[in-house]
Structure 1
Amino acid sequence: MPTQEQMKSALQAYVDGFNSGDPAAVTALFADDAVVVDPVGNPPMEGRAAIDEFYGNAVAAGAKLSLDAPIRGSHGDRAAMAFSVNMPGMRIRVIDVMTFNDDGKIVRMEAHWGLDDIEQ
């Protein structure tokens, strides 16, 4: 099982990768067979090609992330973070819950946000 330190470090690296405009740094945190659900309720994106495309587009759109609270661990294989996605003219308040494999790679990302969480 991944350690708290591994999971929290990975989530900080996720934020840092976004904010430095480096989608490859973000996608490197994911296992090749990972699943991304953003937002929860949308169909899942599965596998390396879909994840590379999703994060490439998000970073290219100019998204910057700011933590709203410290990154949280768990007694299991999940960690979560509350943050805001800041883009020109818009902010989305999000909670991401990530599930990790034994190697410390993200195998599932679930983004929790709804229409009420978007500020124009």
Structure 2
Amino acid sequence: MKSALQAYVDGFNSGDPAAVTSLFADDAVVADPVGNPPIEGRAAIDEFYTGAVGAGAKLSLDAPIRGSHGDRAAMAFSVHMPGMRIRVIDIMTFGDDGRIVRMEAHWGPGDVES
């Protein structure tokens, strides 16, 4: 799980949305941020990450990636975009095949810096 989250960061930072979306199951759900309507299914997830990576988002870890003894891993990181920084904690749930089945991004207006 930790290596999958590192691959997520690396995919963003190399400008490769396909590397990011390949980590997700076809029926995965993305909540970014939690509380917004979920992004569901392969086509919607591909579109979401193509837009995010295309907007020039780069990620930097704020702490080491954490894994659990179960099916989840988390990372605290910052999203850097032109003129803005967003501090985020992502929690990913993994399926038996090692692919992400649910991504929850925890951040709100108070986590956005200009």
TM score, norm. by length of structure 1: 0.95
Aligned residue runs from structure 1 range 1-80, under 5 A: 7-80=1-74
Amino acid at match of 1:24: A
Partners in 2 of 1:45 and 1:63 — Cα distance?
19
TM-score (norm 2): 0.99
Q: CA deviation at 1:47?
A: 0.2
SS at match of 1:69: coil
Q: Could you say what secondary structure the match of 2:28 adopts?
A: strand
Matched, 1:85 2:79: yes
Alpha-carbon separation, structure 1, partners of 2:39 and 2:75: 20
Structure 2: any 5+ residue segments left out of the alignment?
Answer: none
Q: Which amino acid aligns with 2:82?
A: P
Runs of 4 or more above 4 Å deviation: none
Aligned residues: 114
Q: Percent identity?
A: 88
CA distance in 2, matches of 1:52, 1:75: 29
Structure 1: tracts of 5 or more residues without a match? 1-6
**Hey, what's the Cα distance between the residues in 1 that align with 2:39 and 2:53?**
17
In the alignment, the residues of structure 1 paired with residue 21 and residue 35 of structure 2 have an alpha-carbon distance, to the nearest angstrom, of 22
Measure the CA separation in 2 of the matches of 1:80 and 1:71.
6
Tell me how large the CA RMSD over aligned residues is: 0.3
